[in-house]
Chain A
Amino acid sequence: MRYGMVIDLKRCFGCYGCQVSCKAEHATPPGVFFARVVKRETGTYPNVRKVYLPMLCMHCEIPPCEAVCPTGATVKRPDGIVDIDRELCVGCRYCMQACPYEARYFNDRARWYFGAQGPTEYEALGYAQHPVGVVMKCNFCAHRLEHGQLPSCVVTCPTKARTFGDLDDPQSEVSRLIKERCGEPLHPELGTGPSVYFLPA
């Protein structure tokens, strides 16, 4: 069993739905994005091409973050998910420098979206689950997977660009899409073996 995701760049138009739904699901503090959208532009007028790249942790087969972690807090689970044990993390942020997908964020101090006005009722409840001084990252919504639900970003994506499933199962939707649409991971040349594939725009 190896959880994986396929993101269809032909469908995605950069509506930030994944970013905000993930933020709401995990109550991530300001500046922490388990999922976010990168918007870039290539080409020259008038042959211009917009690229909308939804980013998240790629849950690599050989995670550079796991290698550099000095305390063993980062661990690759048998189902493929790369997660952080928040009791072990020492907050050295080495993993943030090793991750080529910028998927890790440091929760340096208690911070709220309305600043000096203090935490909202939602933040007071939600941020309690995130200890300060440790690194945070996407875990493919492990808590939802346990209840048989799909990750929040997949469920909300208005254009159905995100598909989730088992990469080891050749019959799964993700495997089929990767084959049919020549799915490619981001930065394959780095040899990290990501579990998130992008279908060309």
Chain B
Amino acid sequence: MGVFTRPYDTLLDDFQETARPQREWVDGRGLLLIAGHFLSGVGAGGWAFASAFGYLPGEVASVLLLAASGLAHLLFLGRPGRFWRMVKVRTSWVGRGFLGLTLALAAAVAYLALTLATGRDDTAAAGALWTLSLLGAVVVMLYKGNVYAVCRAIPFWNSSLLPILYVAYALRGGVALLLLFLPWWGAGVDQGLLELLELWIGLSAGVCILFYLTIMASASVGARRSVEDLLRGRVAAAFYGGVVALGLVVPLLVGLWNVVTPVSLGLLALVGAASLSGDFYVKYAIAKAGRYLPHVPGAR
């Protein structure tokens, strides 16, 4: 088996667990998918805010992120060459996500091209393209959470709260992306407005997480094992370090400090970066902590 034995060995050990950890969507090439979910979230959120403020570098960055997310998804697939078949939107969130991402990307690129070519962004065509791109972005934001939420096999994911959490994170990611550009952005944007927005979304994300975890802890044996992984187990480092410290505490502290005395743009950029990494770690941690439903109640 050579270098590829590790997943095989891990699988055989996993079978000993009463609630088997899921590996496909996080280990090995699974990390590409997590990256894809993170990038698409930030890209969609970023596009929404950047295009709303008409801040070109932000818009371009968002489009690049969306493209990068598409690429990451493709590289994760077992048969990338058949990506165009993922069109069954009637019941599949992956199908909807794929079309959403394609729509958002195409419309955004077209909108940018048009506005750059005509120099005006208020024409009817630009407006239509912008609306389409926003629609795509919304679908992308919704798809990420729901793709996990419908999986009844993994109790920790199977919660209607997860989509809301991922939407909140997508929006927050968008804002964070713009914060990153602040040092180069200069006076064009009202710093105060952005900051409050950031604070509000950060708090909401935090509340969501806590609310989410408490419910899940009591939901069923399967979820409890995942929560234990998250809080005390193999995912604790990513959770406390990435999600809590980097993703929430740092931005909130800087945010509150900024309310007291305005801080340098560089520091706000740091807030953006921190919350972006927090966003990635939330997706990684929740995916990593996923465990399949145990089959024998009361078994050790």
Contacts and interface: CB of A to CB of B under 8 A. Distances in A.
B261 interface: no
Interface string A1-36: 000000000000000000000000000001100001
A40 B296 contact: yes
A98 B152 contact: yes
A42 interface: yes
Interface string B85-115: 1111001111100100000000000000000
Contacts of A112: 1
Contacts of A108: 7, 28-29, 78
Nearest to A51: B296
Contacts of A111: 1, 4, 8
Contacts of A98: 150-153
Interface stretch (A65-73, A140-148, A161-169, A176-184): A65-73
A64 B287 CA distance: 19
B212 interface: no
Given A134-B78, A187-B293, A71 B86 contact: yes
A97 interface: yes
Contacts of A89: 78-79, 82
Interface string B220-259: 0000000000000000000000000000000000000000
A93 interface: yes
B38 interface: no
Q: Is the interface of B mostly helix, strand, loop or mixed?
A: loop
Given A67-B91, A69-B92, A94 B147 contact: yes
B131 interface: no
Interface residues of A, number: 49
Interface string A102-141: 1000111101100110000000000000001111000000
Given A67-B92, A89-B78, A31 B154 contact: no
B300 interface: yes
A94 B15 contact: no
Contact of A68 (B28, B94, B298): B94
Interface residues of B, number: 50
Contacts of A115: 1-2, 5
B178 to A, nearest CB: 31
Interface string A60-100: 00001011111111000000000000001111111011111
Interface in B142-169: 147-148, 150-154, 157
Contacts of B11: 31
A70 B296 contact: no
B22 interface: yes
B24 A91 contact: no
A92 B151 contact: no
A53 B93 contact: no
B83 interface: yes
Contacts of B181: none
A90 B24 contact: no
Contacts of A134: 78-79
A53 B293 CA distance: 14
Given A70-B95, A112-B1, 5 more contacts: A89-B82, A98-B150, A98-B153, A101-B153, A107-B78
28 contacts: A38-B15, A38-B295, A51-B296, A53-B295, A66-B91, A67-B91, A68-B150, A69-B92, A70-B94, A72-B88, A90-B85, A91-B78, A92-B76, A94-B94, A96-B24, A97-B154, A100-B153, A100-B292, A101-B295, A111-B4, A111-B8, A112-B1, A116-B2, A132-B78, A133-B77, A134-B78, A135-B78, A190-B152
Interface of A: 30-31, 36, 38, 40-42, 51, 53, 55, 64, 66-73, 88-94, 96-102, 106-109, 111-112, 115-116, 132-135, 186-187, 190, 192
